Amino acid sequence: MDTASGGTTVSPELAEEAESHDLLTLGVEEEYLLVDGTEPRAVEAVEDVFAQVPDELRESVQHEYMRSQIEVASPPQLDLGSLRVALHRLRSGVAGAADRAGVRLIAAGTGPASGPLPRIADNPRYHRMRDFFGDLSPGPGMCGMHVHVSIPDPETGVQVLNHLRPWLPIFQAATVNSPLFNGHDTGYASWRSMLWERWPTVGPAPYLESHEHYETLVSDLVASGAMLDEGMLYWYARLSATYPTVEIRMGDVTPSVDDAILLAALARALVATLLRDVRAGVPAPNVPHPLLMAAHWRAAHDGLQGVNIDMATREPRPAWRLLRQLFDYVRAELDRHGDLETATVLMDRLRASGTGAARQRAVLARNGSVSEVVDWLADTTRSEA
């Protein structure tokens, strides 16, 4: 929810390879929900699961805000295949730890089923957040996916953030994976997004004049009491407080590794494409904040099955067409990073199978049971497919 990690620090060897080929590293954080071994309700099992995590994975696994959540962070990678191996290893390892603890791991934006409200994790910072902000995290936990992409320096990173703003609503639409909450369909493809927006600093990043402007806003927000520290800067894209990366962080955690890999590839290619514009002195479009909010709301409501807003024309267009437009826009950088073939296959797969929200609803329509949806999520979370 509010960590500022992105895996381990890039090794000197990896950094040298990336610089010599002018390529960007990337890493992925994923937050998961823990549910009962037989029932669909969330359970306070993080300590039991953590105790079962293999030693070799411990550095990449963390506690999260609720005791019914757990988080992983991949090491930074240059190669998309290596990232896939790392993410699958983490998912499998933590899912196996959950099995040994008598519970299940699911990758869903929030809990599909009703049940007792879990407590927050036993962390002094989380207790301060709960004491000051109250009950802004209803339900068993909000589970997101964060993609970290390397940047050369903070000043350039701020300009990348400006250029990212118009693209993030359609990126969000591709991640939707939380249509069910408390045992019923909410009518939204990402109900997590609606819950998440209750926090005072959640939303699109503002148009930023410089890195100094960015730092001043962060200091002012801390002074206002809207956040306790920089880790609570919940803009949909931000500079990492820990690593030299831009962090894209508004999406639901996706049901499968392949979903995550596609979005990571698109994120890196998008940042690389925008870096080219920044270096060329192309000004970022200053899209009005209310229009961005409307587009993000539409993404949470429709996912890819409805419409979103074309930021160039300010007109509604089919969301899938806008995602294809994003793909075409970053195609050259997908190719240059060696990701085009994989991303093409995974785009076709997403088109055929739908987002996590669409797949959850399909399972619910077939079986009429939230429990069956949770079973499907548990199987898909750890699957190679």
Q: Which residue in this structure is represented by tokens 């099992």?
A: 45
CA distances from 314 to 161, 268, 273, 319 (A): 20, 25, 22, 13
Give the pLDDT score at 384: 55
Nearest to 181 by CA among 33, 7, 71: 33
pTM for this predicted structure = 0.95
CATH topology of domain 12-382: Creatine Kinase; Chain A, domain 2 (3.30.590)
Q: 5 in helix, strand or coil?
A: coil
**CA 129/CA 203 separation, integer angstroms:** 19
Residue ranges of domains in the chain? 12-382
Number of residues in the chain: 385
**Angstrom distance (rounded) from CA 294 to CA 308:** 9
Measuring CA to CA, which residue among 169, 132, 184, 189 is closest to residue 305?
Answer: 189
Token look-up 């962080």 returns 249
Query: pLDDT of the chain along its 385 residues, tens only?
Result: 544 344 557 788 788 788 877 899 999 999 999 999 999 999 999 999 999 999 999 999 999 999 999 999 999 999 999 999 999 999 999 999 999 999 999 999 999 999 999 999 999 999 999 999 998 877 899 999 999 999 999 999 999 999 999 999 999 999 999 999 999 999 999 999 999 999 999 999 999 999 999 999 999 999 999 999 999 999 999 999 999 999 999 999 999 999 999 999 999 999 999 999 999 999 999 999 999 999 999 999 999 999 999 999 999 999 999 999 999 999 999 999 999 999 999 999 999 999 999 999 999 999 889 999 999 999 999 885 4
Category of 297 on φ-ψ map: left (φ > 0), alpha (ψ -120 to 50) or beta: alpha
